[in-house]
Amino acid sequence: MIGTIKIDEIYETEITSLENEGAGVCKINGMVVFVPKTLPGEKVRVRITEKKKNYARGKLVEILKESDKRVKSRCPFYEECGGCDLRHQTTSENLKFKKEKIKNALKRIGKIDVKVDDCLPSLKDDNYRNKVSFKVENDRIGFYGEGTYQLIDIDYCLLAESLINDALQVIRNYLKENNNEIKTITIRYGNALNELLIDIYSLNDTDIEILDYLTTNIKKLKTVIFNGKVVYGTGYIKEVTNGLMFNVSAKSFFQVNITQAEKLYDTAIKMAKLDKNDVVLDLYCGTGTITSVVSPHVKKVIGIEIVEDAVLDARENLKVNNINNVKFICGDAAKEISKIKDKIDVIIVDPPRKGIDRKAIAIMKKIHPKKIVYISCNPVTMARDLSYLTDLYDVKKVTPVDMFPNTSHVECVCLLNIKQ
């Protein structure tokens, strides 16, 4: 029987496991409580911050018995910031956690019992993110605190590329000296030419005055977007991965960890065992990264993407890389794939976190390719989607890739073969 627990009361308890987002799990008076930044085996004192019908959330007050897997975070903002959630655990344990997270999702949600490979580690655990979105409130800039809309003012972010942090300092100086109604500032880094794109959203058009300050004080600044309009530069930066060059604009999806992206794409290609005569369909193709990387290995690739800016970038990227066996279609995947006349041998799908549209899955099954390569950043929706395909396909291989070190998030590549 569940006893009573009270908001703001402090309780002693023991953490038994980690939940999907990396928070510790315990029971207090019979109720499940999630406590961020705690580890299995730890005895802790917890203050209850939120109470629902079947569970509660708590905040770590004191560690009474520490796990031998615990490490001291190098980030001074870690305790309050919501950007990372696994800096307090060793890298090797984080990799194990991510592998188990995928394994559990496949078994529990997808009812799929398959061997999951060890998680491929990242070359860098910090300074890997090439895109960071900062919240702004008057003269403060940073991230929301964990589970709140309270802004945590930060000087730098350990996850971000160093040039992004340099730009953050310049922006901070401007915000201190000028009243503004800026709400978000997104900074993207392009590794090809060591350059930056800054995308600003403000409630007041006069805040465009920040432009002169940025162009004067940020040497590597390539382009600035203000309230959706390009106000400086070309509107894009350049990224290099797998030996190809890509133009990336503000709205285009591109992997945030470029060294791991290479590993991810190489893994997908190797897993698919592509043939020179294959026709490949790449769904949710973004700026056409996977489409272009796959193109030398096959006869033809068709990419579908709903974001128009991304498709424009993708088509430009074909010219940049002198690729002539790729076609891009702009539109909703569920609607556009039904119009394709080519016989598709392999489908590669890298959907957003919400997964694949049920209509799109139905049409994928109708197309009946011999292989499907499913790339996902969300094990829950991935497991769900794969369960819809297992009547026709066998899940043959699952490889996690640590695209987001020091966080609970993980990328994954799965191979499905048509049942014989």
Would you please indicate which residues are annotated as catalytic (active-site) residues? 377
DSSP, res 103: H
In sequence order, the 6+-apart residues with CB closer than 8 A to the CB of 339 are: none
Q: How many helices (H) and strands (E) does the chain have?
A: 9, 22
Closest to 5 (Cα-Cα) out of 25, 24, 27? 27
Beta bridge partners of 236: 249
For 112, the token pair is: 């799929």
Give alpha helix (H) positions in 26-125. 91-108
- E strand spans, 244-312: 244-249, 279-283, 300-305
- Angstrom distance (rounded) from CA 276 to CA 296: 8
- Angstrom distance (rounded) from CA 169 to CA 158: 14
- Angstrom distance (rounded) from CA 134 to CA 228: 16
For residue 53, how far is the Cα from the chain centroid? 31
